[in-house]
Each structure stands twice: as structure tokens, then as C-alpha cells.
Structure 1
Amino acid sequence: MPKVRLSGTVRGTDDPGREVRARLLYLLFSKGWDIYNSNGDQRITLSNIERKIIESEAFVFTPGATLEDMFKAISIFVGYQTIDRNLAGKPTVILNTDGSWNPFFAVLDHLNRMGTIKQDHRDFLLAAEHPEGVLDTLEMVRMKGLPDAGREKIGESKATSFEEPVPDDYIANVCVFCSATLEEPFYLADGESLGRQLAENKMGCVSGAGRSGIMGAVVEGSVGAGGWTAGSNVPHIIELEGLPDGLSSFWLRPDIYTRMEVMIENSDAFVIFPGGAGTVQELLALMIFKRQKNPLMTGKPVVLFNRLNPAGVRFWDPLIGLLKTFCDPGDFAIAETLDEILPAIRSGLVEKQPAGA
């Protein structure tokens, strides 16, 4: 039987989504689907999520969207965008009977208008308003398939890992999550400036090792200033975007989740620059780790650069609104100008240091 992976958790007998989930389970079983996570109690981690994707033929998200659910949904969307072969032909349906997914969809619509998401998320994350609609959508995709993401390879990846130690006089490594597609000069100038500032202030620069967009500019700024500059990427994305020159260390990983993990492990602070679905995915992972008090995020500040663009729109406003529903004060700081980023990083690092450090 084909296997569908259900996301979402049933929170006791009074959960308002319990009846909808029960109806969905009945319909899926009756139509011949085998169901993973029918009880909503399976744990997904960065280390096992790709295996869970490989094991499944379809994905269904239920009402009562949580931060973890949104992370899984955006992760699958990023996989579609980057032509992950493990997602080829596998549909994703979001059952949104309670409207809890609307803020998430609003973030994706906003990023589409801002130019960092080129695809219409509605073509890939297929919304359903009732359980019967989920079955109809799964059948439609089985017959018609999924749309093309509109991306082409620029070459084959022959990358391998290499590593150079962080200089002894460096005070921290800062990971910059950002867009590899935005090419407007003001965004690129910000990225190059931040990379240069990190090097000049004895801070290592960690990134997703993309050659283009803001990501490429950040790397260029750090490398150009003689900074220790590291990154991680995966073969199928390297084939779409290439790798930047001058990296001090590079960690090749098999999937986007272990890629995130090694970047988090090797960083002491995080800056969220303007970006797309991948940047949202990475930020949600950080916030989930914060909520779980995961040791990987202990004492590590997160700074969102909520840049005002020439049209008078602040880049991350919808995402910040969404996060405030789920996150605690202090989980992240907001910088509205480039000059505020390094002080926010230093403040976060100082506040987290032991007394007497």
C-alpha cells in the first residue's frame, strides 16, 4: 500500500481537531493508504527527517498548526524548490479546517511578493478545507503529477569536505541565513558589508555556502577581508547554485537537515538576513531548538535583520508576527539597520556568558 505521513498531534480527548483527524484516518485507510504517525506521537529530528521523507509517498498536515508542523511543511516546500529527488512526485496536502495555517501561508505570499520565493506555494503545498478534499487532492496529484519548480542544474557537484581551524583570537562564529536568489544591489551591499564586519571584528562567518545572491555577497565580504569563512551545502543544491571561492572550511552533507545541523553546531550566534523559504526553514529550526532548550542553542543569540526596502516595507514583518504567537521574549532580537546587528550579537553573547567571563 502507498504510505502517507501524517503531521500534527492530538492533544487529548478535548482536542477540537480530534474528530477531523479521525475522519481523515478513516478515509485514508478506506482508500488504501497506509498511515505513518496516525497517533501524532512520532518525533522528527534534523537527523532523521530525510529518512522519514524517503519512507513516504505523500504528506498530509492536519489542523492546529504548530511551529514544528510549519517547519516540516516549509522543509518539504524547500525540497520541491531544490529538486530533491526524494520528493519527486510526492504530494503534500494541508488540511486547514481551522484556519491555523493562514499566517504561515501569509508569510509565503509575502516572500513571493518580495521576490525570494519564485514559485506559488499553492501549487506545491495543496490546501484542503475538509478531509474528503485531502483524498481528492492526493488522487489528483497521482494522476497529474506536481508542477516543475522552474530550476535547472548549472553543473555536476564534485565537492568534498575540508576544514581549517578557527583562529585562536576569534571571539565567535556567526551563522548568516539568507537568500541565494536576491540580486538587488542594496541587498548585496548589505551582505558584503556584514561579511566584512564579521572578519574585521574577529568573528567567523558561517553560511549555506551559496555562490549567488546575498549568500554569495556575505561570503565575498568575509573572504575579501581575510576572515575565517565556512559553510555547508548538499550535492543537489550545489548543482543548482555552485559554491563560492575562498572558503576556509566546507562541510558537505547529504541533505538540507544535516546541513543545518552542522551549521548550528559550528556557530555561536545567528543572523537572519532577507531570504526565502530556506531561510524561514532555518529560523524555525532555531526557534524550535530554543523552545526545547536544546543544548545546540544554549547561549546563542538570534538576530533578525528586518530591513526596510525602498518601497517602505520591512522584510520580516509577517514572520515576526507569526513567531510572536509561538516564541518567548528573548528568543530572538530584531535589528532594523545594518549597524544594529553586531551590537545585538555582542549583547546576546555577553548576556549568555558565565559570571566572570
Structure 2
Amino acid sequence: MTTAAATPHTTLQRVAVYCASNEGAHPDYVHAAHALGTLLANRGIAMVYGGGRTGLMGALADAAMAAGGEVIGVMPHGLVEREVAHRGITSLQVVDSMHERKAMIAELADAFIALPGGIGTLEELFETWTWATLGVHRKPLGLLDTRQFWEPLLSLVARLDQEGFLRGAPTEWLVRHDDPAHLLDRLTTFAPPHVRRWLSLRDT
């Protein structure tokens, strides 16, 4: 599996995890979420996530808490009021909107990991990924590739490149592995690629 070039070891204090509020169709997804939550706690890395108590979100948070980790949830008022918030985590930050939620998660995190998920997970992944390619941040972005979940997405990105819709190589920002420990190791040695200059209005 491909990854960015290595650099000296970087300490990660907090990792943001994007994942689903349901469990998916195969138990491997829950097992992977549980393994990642346990791993983060064992390595002394705080976890930042959407604050939910169900699905992969809940499995991830429960595993991290059970292993003695720190878990920070960020959730808008509307979702808290629907009683989907996890009340057993270290801290639950309640914000006014989904935009504030994503901004706070991005600000708190030193790196990002996307687990398999639905359109909400994809939206979070693509926004964070876009920010990286534009130079908004230089934080590593990992894909936990359970059951080769991300393969179709990366094939689509390759097609976008072939058809001339991409500038540069956005996949340089991605670190991908199916094993949580190997993925986390690669995130700590991530070297941010050069941010290419985008066309300005004067270039068009």
C-alpha cells in the first residue's frame, strides 16, 4: 500500500477519527473501530470524534475509554437533543452547527483517520482532504482500509486524474493501511507534500 515519504518521528497528541453512526454490514468494521480506539488509548493519544454513542462511533469511543484513554466528542445541539450523544466519554463539546463541529475537530487534531462510513464520513474526509491540498493545514490524513473499503474511492480519484479534473496528486496526502497500528505508525512519519500553486483569476 502506498504512503507518503518518511520523516523523523512526530508525536501525535490528538487524532480525529471520522466514522459511521451505524455498524456496517460486516463485523470486521466494528472490530477495526474497537482496535483503533484501544490502540490510541494504549499509545496515550487522545481521540477526537463526532461524539456519538452508536455504530462505529460508539465502538471506537467505548474501546478507547475502556483502555483508559481520553475521548473528546464534538456535537451540535440538535443531535445532542435527539439523545445520540455519548455521555460516558471524557469530554463532550456542544456547538451550534455542523460547520462549527468540523472546525473544532480540525483545530483540536494533529492528524485525521477515516474509517469506513456513509455520506457524512465521506463529506468530512473530502473537506479535510481538500483543505490539505489547498494548504489550509499540513496534517496527515489516514484511511483505515478495512475490507479494502476505500479501494473504489481511490479508483474514482484515479479516473478524475485521467480525465483532467485534478491538479497535482491529491493522493499524496493520504496514508492507507488495513492495520490500525501500521496506519498510526505511518501517520507519525508523514511528510507533507509540496502544495502546488493553484490558478488565480488572472490566470484564466
Q: What is the distance in 2 between the residues matched to 1:245 and 1:188?
A: 20
Matches for 1:56-75 after TM superposition, within 5 Å? none
- Are residues 1:316 and 2:158 paired? no
Q: Deviations over 1:18-66 (max 9, x none)?
A: xxxxxxxxxxxxxxxxxxxxxxxxxxxxxxxxxxxxxxxxxxxxxxxxx
Percent identity over paired residues: 27
Q: How does 1:1-357 map to 2 (within 5 A)?
A: 171-182=12-23, 184-240=26-82, 242-294=84-136, 297-298=137-138, 300-308=139-147, 314-324=148-158, 325=161, 326=166, 327-348=169-190, 351=191
Distance 1:307 1:268 in 2: 22
Cα distance, 1:285 vs structure 2: 0.7
Question: In the alignment, what sits opposite 1:7?
Answer: none
Match of 1:32 in 2: none
Paired position in structure 1 for 2:200 = none
When Rg is computed on C-alpha atoms for both structures, the one with the higher figure is 1
Structure 2 length normalisation: TM-score?
0.77
- Corresponding residue of 1:77: none
Which runs of 5 or more residues in structure 1 are unaligned?
Answer: 1-169, 309-313, 353-357
Deviations 1:199-248 (CA, angstroms, capped at 9, x unpaired)? 11011111101110011111111111111110101122234461113322
RMSD over aligned Cα atoms:
1.9
Distance 2:178 2:83 in 1: 29
Residue 226 of structure 1: SS of its match in structure 2? coil
- Report deviation, 1:321: 2.4
How far does residue 249 in structure 1 lie from its aligned partner after superposition? 2.3
Tell me which stretches of 4 or more aligned residues in structure 1 moved more than 4 Å.
none
Q: Secondary structure at the match of 2:59?
A: helix
Residue pair 2:115, 2:144 contacting (<8 A) in 1 also? yes
CA distance in 2, matches of 1:268, 1:211: 23
The residue matched to 2:172 in structure 1 has which SS?
coil
Segments of 5+ residues of structure 2 without an aligned counterpart are: 1-10, 193-204
Whole-Å separation in 2 of the counterparts to 1:319 and 1:234: 28
| Rounded Cα–Cα distance in structure 2 between residues aligned with 1:347 and 1:171 | 10
Deviation at 1:255, TM superposition (A): 1.5
Counterpart of 1:140 in structure 2 is: none
TM-score calculated relative to the size of structure 1? 0.46
How many residue pairs match? The answer is 173
